[in-house]
Structure 1
Amino acid sequence: MTQKTSPKALEIIDQARLLIANGGYNGFSYADIAKTLGVTNASIHYHFPAKADLVKAVVIQYRTQSHHHLALASVEDDDPVRLLRLFVGFWEHCLREGPLPFCICVMLASELPLIPDAVADEVQGHFDDLSGWLTEVMAQGQARGLLELRAGPKVEARILMTLVHGSMISARAARDPALYGAVALACVAAAFGRSAKRPDISRNALSRPPGKFARMPVCRHAGPRLPHDLKFPSSGMPQ
């Protein structure tokens, strides 16, 4: 476990995360990482004997960072509606400005029948973590009369996750990052239309820098660049 937290291991994890976001579990090999980092396959195997070990470490890091920053957001801002708006706007900010173009857990979830159980368990854990946080935020909004939830906080949390992740997939399918904002905005406007106190869901509101959410390393990934043979098309979205 110590070797997996060494600077070199963290560098490998960072590069793997970027490659997973663009191609999924089966979209990269140790050779891709070795070429970009200028190391040998053997040195990667030293830190992560199997690909499943590496991807599991990537998702564990992703979960840890996400959990920390969502908890921090709740401490710094006690307005449930604003937290929900920031959550939706977070990925628009990432898709538009951040070098990580997709949620790695959404990407890996699409491969769940084919990826190792150890990785699948961590991916499911991420969605459970996110659902738990959104459920708590929605419950607070309902208790304070800010949201009217027809299906209850837990189901509405899953609905919002579906809207956000589905919008992300639509944007990727269209090879147009801007589509996320257009789709998510319309969906969330419809969902929030039954709020007791309607939140600010204008495009300007969603386009504001999302503050504490923008500090999340899952978005602001200043790590390695893509290998030369894995380029974005002119629209900015991966193939």
Structure 2
Amino acid sequence: MSTRETIIEQADYLIRDKGYNAFSYYDLSKAIGIKNASIHYHFPSKSDLGIAVVQKHLQGLAELRQEKKDLSPLEQLEAFFSIYTKAQSNQKICLVGALATDFHTIEENVQTHLKVLADQVLNWVTEILVLGQQQGVFHFSIEPRTKAMLIISNMLAIVQLIRLTQIEDFERVKAAIIFELTNPQ
């Protein structure tokens, strides 16, 4: 892994562990074992680094969507859940949830990239739901976009709430979403 990639990876970790505003280049330099000047060489400003982290997640999302596009709607929904499963297993929250908390205090260019990431997630889940409804796999009576927002907000919240409750609640919420979608109302 290059120095640039290592910096992005560590920044991603710190954002999802502490929050965007709670880490500094000094924290990064200590964690990675390089000088602040090396970080500034790759990322002159913190917003440059924040954008790089968001772009890493955008690329990962695009790759996941492409990899799973030919699967059934239920398997695609499970692929969406895998984003949160991975975050939960690493005892982290998702990037959207972490940056949304700091939204009003992060730079406008980071906000813009974050909105693109959130839109991409929303579009994907909406597409999964529409496909599932068309194939008779999913049953729900509200607009697909609204249902997608409910599912996404449940997943965003549960990775944070299990810090306070039980880890089993994560699987219970996923199972409840699937049960609700797959059982006619």
TM-score, normalisation: structure 2: 0.89
Give the letter aligned to residue 54 of structure 1: L
- Give unpaired runs (5+ residues) of structure 2: none
- Residue of structure 2 in register with 1:165 after alignment: 156
Aligned residues: 185
Q: Report the TM-score when normalising by structure 1.
A: 0.70
1:182-227 Cα deviation digits (max 9, x unpaired): 33433x156326448xxxxxxxxxxxxxxxxxxxxxxxxxxxxxxx
Distance apart, 1:73 and its partner CA: 0.9
Greater relative CO (CA pairs within 8 A, separation 6+): 1
Any residues of structure 2 matched to 1:1-239 within 5 Å, and which?
Answer: 7-75=2-70, 77=71, 79-96=72-89, 99=90, 101-172=92-163, 174=164, 176-186=166-176, 188-189=177-178, 191-192=180-181, 194-195=183-184
SS at match of 1:150: coil
Q: How many angstroms does 1:90 deviate by?
A: 4.7
CA deviation after TM superposition for structure 1 residue 101, in Å: 1.9
Tell me which protein shows more helix as a share of its residues: 2
Structural RMSD (CA)? 2.1
Structure 1 unaligned residues grouped into runs of 5+: 1-5, 197-239
Deviation at 1:161, TM superposition (A): 0.6
Identity of aligned residues (%): 27
